[in-house]
Structure 1
Amino acid sequence: MYKHRVGTVLAAVGTPLTLVGALMYVLPGPGLPVLVIGMALLITGLVMAATGHR
């Protein structure tokens, strides 16, 4: 259950970071690093949530 919960939290944090990074890619700001970090957190969280035992 622990992996499932951590994965859910990572996916919940990664989703807005990915969206903000995509917005900052076209608006002023460090878009690419934020986008990459958000995507990494989102993918890791989804994989952990999908493979975690309930």
Structure 2
Amino acid sequence: MSERRIGAVLAAAGTPLVLTGAAMYVLPGPGFPILATGLAALITGLIMIAANRRS
């Protein structure tokens, strides 16, 4: 599996996690860990995609 593909999967998985975490953070619930995990996956995926495009 290429690095670009892994980055795309991370970004695709991170997007719904961010949205779910943000909704749970606003509503009463433990949303911060989900939000942090989603942001980490999304940012890592986007960085991997951008780094692969430059090389």
Question: C-alpha displacement at 1:51, in angstroms?
Answer: 1.0
Q: Secondary structure at the match of 2:35?
A: helix
- CA deviation vs aligned residue, 1:23-46 (integer Å, no higher than 9, x gap): 000113211000000000000000
Q: Distance in 2 between matches of 1:9 and 1:19?
A: 16
Q: Distance in 1 between matches of 2:29 and 2:14?
A: 18
Equivalent in the alignment of 2:51: 51
Consecutive unaligned residues of structure 1, counting only runs of 5 or more, are: none
Equivalent in the alignment of 2:3: 3
Question: C-alpha displacement at 1:16, in angstroms?
Answer: 0.5
8 A contact 1:2–1:52 mirrored in 2: no
Tell me the TM-score normalized by structure 2. Answer: 0.87
Tell me the TM-score normalized by structure 1. Answer: 0.89
The higher relative CO (CA closer than 8 Å, separation ≥ 6) is in: 1
Consecutive unaligned residues of structure 2, counting only runs of 5 or more, are: none
